[in-house]
Amino acid sequence: AEYVLRLEQAQDAAELPEASGDAIAKEFEQFLRRRRETD
């Protein structure tokens, strides 16, 4: 559920002109890192 929420937030952020693929990738990498830490 959190994963889907983050994807939706990233999509919302992508609508902003200052959003970039790098920023979205960075956020996704942080999500994966946090997910691994909680396992």
In sequence order, what are the residues at sequence separation of 6 or more whose Cβ sits closer than 8 angstroms to the Cβ of residue 19?
Answer: 13
Distance CA 9, CA 32 (A): 15
Total structural domains within the chain:
1
Q: Using an 8 Å Cβ cutoff, are 10 and 27 in contact?
A: yes
pLDDT for res 24: 82
pTM over 0.75: no
**Count of beta carbons in the 10 Å neighbourhood of residue 26:** 11
Q: Is 28 exposed, middle or buried (0-12, 13-18, 19+ CB in 10 A)?
A: middle
Q: Domain residues for 13? A: 2-38
pLDDT < 70 stretches in the chain: 11-19
